[in-house]
């Protein structure tokens, strides 16, 4: 079993997790920046992480028939985790804002699903994916994510497993301790060599 430090190391190697002083798209400041897509772009890391997630799901000792994730962030996680679990992996996508099964994906009546995610922040898309399974006559037996940055606040009423519990503090610019300290320049993720004046 990989430790949280080993998981973090993989994200660091892929530049998917950065430590510093970041301006988030929300306008808030944070000492961390996390972008799962950056680690999943490397098949060898996606394989290691999703094999680990598959192992954790097996440890939950629940029976299941498929894995499902919300698009777009969850597509690779669904595929790669399903590959290790030797079940099928599908995804739900938004149509007019509502998560839906498309592309001929079906969930048979009574089929048991594990919902997987790259990152859980508020748990909203996870809960919506659970609803998709139910609406299609299936049952959700577990939830798994690579990262849980909810601060332990999520509860899906089924067993939940995650590889990395990460607290990501966010600050209003005027209350940001990093700005006050003035030691680390504020950067916008994705353009981290360009300090923001």
Please report, as ranges, the residues that interact with Zn ion according to CB under 5 A: 29, 176, 178-179
Burial class (CB in 10 A: 0-12, 13-18, 19+), 28: middle
Q: 112 and 64 in contact (C-beta within 8 Å)?
A: yes
Q: 93 and 100 in contact (C-beta within 8 Å)?
A: yes
- For Zn ion, the closer of residues 40 and 176 by Cβ is 176
d(CA 47, CA 134): 29
Query: Could you tell me the smallest distance in angstroms from the CB atom of residue 184 to Zn ion?
Result: 8
The values of phi and psi at residue 83, to 5°, are -60, -45
- For Zn ion, the closer of residues 92 and 176 by Cβ is 176
Query: Could you tell me the smallest distance in angstroms from the CB atom of residue 192 to Zn ion?
Result: 14
Query: Could you tell me the smallest distance in angstroms from the CB atom of residue 35 to Zn ion?
Result: 19
Residue with the CB atom nearest Zn ion in the bound state: 176
- For Zn ion, the closer of residues 177 and 190 by Cβ is 177
- For Zn ion, the closer of residues 119 and 178 by Cβ is 178
């Amino acid at each position: 079993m990989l430790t949280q430090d080993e998981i973090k190391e993989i994200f660091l190697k892929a530049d998917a997790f950065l430590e510093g002083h970041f301006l988030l798209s929300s306008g808030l400041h944070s000492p961390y920046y996390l972008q799962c897509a950056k680690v999943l772009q490397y098949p060898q890391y996606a394989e290691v992480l999703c094999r680990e997630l598959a192992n954790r799901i097996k440890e939950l000792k629940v029976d299941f028939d498929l894995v499902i994730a919300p698009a777009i962030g969850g597509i690779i996680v669904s595929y790669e985790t399903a590959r290790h679990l030797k079940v099928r992996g599908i995804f739900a996508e938004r149509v007019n804002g509502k998560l839906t099964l498309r592309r001929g994906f079906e969930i048979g009546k009574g089929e048991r699903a594990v919902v997987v995610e790259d990152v859980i922040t508020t748990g909203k898309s996870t809960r919506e994916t659970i609803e998709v399974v139910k609406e299609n006559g299936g049952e959700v037996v577990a939830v798994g994510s690579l990262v849980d940055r909810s601060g332990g606040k999520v509860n899906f009423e089924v067993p939940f497993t995650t590889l990395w519990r990460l607290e990501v503090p966010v600050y209003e610019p005027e209350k940001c301790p990093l700005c006050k300290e003035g030691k680390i320049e504020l950067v916008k993720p994705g353009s981290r060599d360009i300090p923001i004046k």
